[in-house]
A and B are shown apart, each in its own frame.
Chain A
Amino acid sequence: MSGKIYVSEMHNVHKALEDVDYPCTKAEIIRKDGAKVVRLDWNLTKTIGELVKPIKLEKFCCAAAFYNALVASMNEGKM
């Protein structure tokens, strides 16, 4: 892989989810913010809904729980 690495993906997600209050459910996040589009790479955008749906947990007691579950989900299948 060559070229400049895109580094702002989590920043974009965090901005899109500014209004999330914890504890919350996956369904609540998708209902509130699911349509928002975030850039994940130079040539890749997804909606919050597309990003959050594959997360294995359904409930998040705090932001740490959510973001860890999200990153795990984003790394699924990479190895």
Chain B
Amino acid sequence: MNIGNSYALHGKIETEALSVVMAQYEPISATSLDDVDKNVETVLGHMDRASCGYPGYDLFVTPEGGLQGYSHGGWINALVDIDGPQIQKLKDKCRELSVWGVFAPWVRPKSGNFAENMAIIINDEGEIVHRYVKMNPFIPSEPTHPGNQCPVTPGPKGSRLATIICSDGDYPEMWREAAFNGANIILRPAHYMAPWEQAWQITNKAGAYFNQCYVIACNGVGLTQSYSYFGNSMIVNPDGTTICEAPLGLTWLTKADLYPGIIDQMRKQAVHSNPLYTFQHRGASCPDFGGVGDTELPYRAYR
């Protein structure tokens, strides 16, 4: 299932199985709420499709821009209210199917801030239980207000879910922040474009491996006024190996079963390659530090 640690894991590992479906598709580049409504109907159709092909699934994941695409200039007329009818339809569908859903709307925030690029998680009772504002917008093209927190939310089947969005994943500290805050699954809704197909692969796998997390990276497809979005959505093991991936450029649904309890046991029992411990306890096996290691973080980049 995965490579695991150099030291054996002991004992019985109890875990539930989280059944995840990702939908890779081409949203309309919305310039109005009518366009957004059409994209919402596409999402609802894919959720139904998933219930037909993968009965009993627990978690449904969509790309960044899944409700609005990326219209150059016109996007400002397609912002949604978090309490508005488009999000309500998603809540209703999650409740209808008893599934959790991950969606990434561009929002007109009530705070009066400029637009926010958000990821929300709706639970199987139709309630928004997680809100994340993209901390690293794709500047300068993406003028959204940056967030400053990476929350982790208890999800179904023992999962603890964090969301980072697209270009967030180009920053190693974002993945580390999500894992440090307790995530055993990091979701990366994205609208990642050519020619960075290899970077998409590398960052998802590195993010998983550096932090011993499952990664669910769901990308959009299609051509807009500016870019080709290439898809290749993927689900990655905590050792960086790929569980499944969608092809380039095609509308695609794919699915995997994840075992969050295994991540938790790995973090408890792993001796080597336990980065969430060792990055804060450098050289801990050296006698000079009493077995604790150097706990100061020396990196100038983070001062």
A interface residue numbers (CB < 8 A to B): 7-8, 10-15, 18
Interface size on B, residues (CB 8 A): 9
Is there a chain A Cβ closer than 8 Å to B48's Cβ?
A: yes
In the complex, residue of chain A having the shortest beta-carbon distance to the beta carbon of B48: A7
13 extra A-B contacts, CB within 8 A, seeds A7-B51, A10-B55, A12-B51: A7-B48, A7-B49, A8-B48, A10-B52, A11-B51, A11-B52, A11-B56, A11-B57, A13-B55, A14-B56, A15-B56, A15-B98, A18-B56
In the complex, residue of chain A having the shortest beta-carbon distance to the beta carbon of B47: A8
B interface residue numbers (CB < 8 A to A): 48-49, 51-52, 55-57, 97-98
Instruction: Provide the bound-state CA to CA distance between A32 and B97, in Å.
Output: 21
Q: List 24 A-B contacts (CB under 8 A).
A: A7-B48, A7-B49, A7-B51, A7-B52, A8-B48, A8-B51, A8-B52, A8-B97, A10-B52, A10-B55, A11-B51, A11-B52, A11-B55, A11-B56, A11-B57, A11-B97, A12-B51, A13-B55, A14-B55, A14-B56, A15-B56, A15-B97, A15-B98, A18-B56
Query: Which secondary structure dominates where chain B touches chain A?
Result: helix
Instruction: Provide the bound-state CA to CA distance between A20 and B55, in Å.
Output: 15
A33–chain B nearest beta-carbon distance, Å: 14
List, in ascending order, chain A residues with CB within 8 A of B48's CB: 7-8
Instruction: Provide the bound-state CA to CA distance between A10 and B55, in Å.
Output: 6
Instruction: Provide the bound-state CA to CA distance between A77 and B127, in Å.
Output: 41
A44–chain B nearest beta-carbon distance, Å: 15
A40–chain B nearest beta-carbon distance, Å: 13
List, in ascending order, chain B residues with CB within 8 A of A15's CB: 56, 97-98
A61–chain B nearest beta-carbon distance, Å: 20
B44–chain A nearest beta-carbon distance, Å: 11
List, in ascending order, chain B residues with CB within 8 A of A7's CB: 48-49, 51-52
Instruction: Provide the bound-state CA to CA distance between A40 and B51, in Å.
Output: 12
Instruction: Provide the bound-state CA to CA distance between A60 and B97, in Å.
Output: 26
Instruction: Provide the bound-state CA to CA distance between A18 and B57, in Å.
Output: 11
List, in ascending order, chain B residues with CB within 8 A of A13's CB: 55
In the complex, residue of chain A having the shortest beta-carbon distance to the beta carbon of B57: A11
Instruction: Provide the bound-state CA to CA distance between A12 and B56, in Å.
Output: 7
Instruction: Provide the bound-state CA to CA distance between A12 and B98, in Å.
Output: 8
Instruction: Provide the bound-state CA to CA distance between A10 and B51, in Å.
Output: 8
Instruction: Provide the bound-state CA to CA distance between A14 and B97, in Å.
Output: 11
Instruction: Provide the bound-state CA to CA distance between A18 and B56, in Å.
Output: 8
A73–chain B nearest beta-carbon distance, Å: 17
In the complex, residue of chain B having the shortest beta-carbon distance to the beta carbon of A39: B96
B126–chain A nearest beta-carbon distance, Å: 15
List, in ascending order, chain B residues with CB within 8 A of A18's CB: 56
